[in-house]
A and B are shown apart, each in its own frame.
Chain A
Amino acid sequence: MYKCGGVVVKIDKGLVGGSTILLLLSLLQEKDRYGYEIIRELEIRSDNTFQFKEGTLYPVLHKLENMGYVESYLSKGDAGRERKYYQITKRGRKQFVEEKQQWDIFSKSVEKVIYGDDHEFA
């Protein structure tokens, strides 16, 4: 769901799905985070645009771990609750840079198509 000028817009799941790895790596390259923290941060930063079923985050995180983009470790947070933290690896950082470049090209191309060649990009 996306609130745009007071109007609630439904975001296609596939749109988010394609860039999930980029979003997760982006948050993890800032600092180590645990699953719930990632969900909260995605909601806050996207102004609640990215709301997906929270449990589905874990298969993606475990996939990133299998791919060697992140590593995990257990640590007790402020509440004394043991949580599984994810830490980006060197390989993950490299992947983040590549995906970000691809995203930049992709988003600019989409805007060109929608707004035409004369559209000025911020």
Chain B
Amino acid sequence: MNLLKSDKFIKEVLSYIKFPFDREDIKKELEAHILDKMEYYIDDRGIDKITAEELTLRDMGDPKEIGIALNKEHNFILGWIYKITNAIVTIFLIITVFTAGISLISTIFSGNPAKHISKEDIVYDIKVNEKVKIDDRVIKFKNVIYEKNGDMNIVYEYYDTKLLGMGWSLGHIGTIKDNLGNEYFEGSGSSSGGIITKGVETMNDFSSEADTLIIEYDMYNRYYKVEIPLKVGDSNE
């Protein structure tokens, strides 16, 4: 402030404030007050600058008394708790935004989970669009792709209707059967994370004679059954 006495006054007030982060605000507030009051003495009362400063500081009172009283209102412990809580909330928000961003990006760029299957190997590719729901999770069966080597691929995606439900991966879409009574065990499976998770489950040696693919889920008191009509024979789509 370039006013030696005023600077000394403020410095003394601040010396009683134990919470360091509030000192700057208090300093600015007191500085503005001192300048306003000096301006009043100089402009309205025609007093010289040096005397104006002295009178202003006299009007302000005892810096020790002010400092001690201000320190009570800027509690050291509460101040730190507030600062730490703020920092934790900020970090939590950054992590949440970052995670949501990653999920969004991976959803946008995850693409087709069955893209590894080359066109020449496909016997047929049937669009399904069957939708089932377990609790807050919606599972959509998108299409089934049958390959020349007997692999049956079930392409699906799932998402949660509640934001907080995000996080657990499905793992198991159900028991895979056909209309001939065969039961298949998963040969391989993969899924990509994101808001909408896309996945493919592949069954080896799927019967080419079967005309219906059955997905049946019966776990933890949740049940669904999806029947998908298939094309019988070797005709390419």
Contacts and interface: CB of A to CB of B under 8 A. Distances in A.
Q: How large is the interface on A (under 10, 10 to 19, 20 to 34, 35 or more residues)?
A: 20 to 34
A44 to B, nearest CB: 12
A53 B61 contact: yes
A70 to B, nearest CB: 12
B59 A36 contact: no
A55 B32 contact: no
B76 to A, nearest CB: 14
24 contacts: A34-B32, A35-B29, A35-B32, A36-B36, A40-B40, A52-B61, A53-B60, A53-B61, A53-B62, A53-B65, A54-B60, A55-B62, A55-B66, A56-B61, A58-B26, A59-B66, A59-B70, A59-B73, A62-B73, A63-B73, A65-B73, A79-B36, A79-B39, A81-B36
A83 B72 CA distance: 22
Contacts of A56: 61, 65-66, 69
Interface in A57-94: 58-59, 62-63, 65-66, 79, 81-84
Contacts, number: 65
B30 interface: yes
B30 to A, nearest CB: 7
A52 B65 CA distance: 13
A58 B66 contact: yes
Contacts of B33: 35-36, 54-55, 58
A82 B31 CA distance: 10
Contacts of A59: 66, 69-70, 72-73
A40 B59 CA distance: 12
Q: Which of A36, A55, A58, A79 has the most CB of B within 10 A?
A: A55
Nearest to B39: A79
A56 B64 CA distance: 11
A61 B54 CA distance: 24
A82 B32 CA distance: 7
The 5 closest A-B pairs by CB, nearest first: A53-B61, A59-B69, A62-B73, A55-B66, A55-B60
Interface in B68-85: 69-70, 72-74
Contacts of A79: 36, 39
Contacts of A65: 73
Nearest to B63: A55
B30 A58 contact: yes
B13 interface: yes
Contact of B61 (A35, A55, A62, A81): A55
A82 to B, nearest CB: 7
A66 B61 CA distance: 23
Nearest to A65: B73
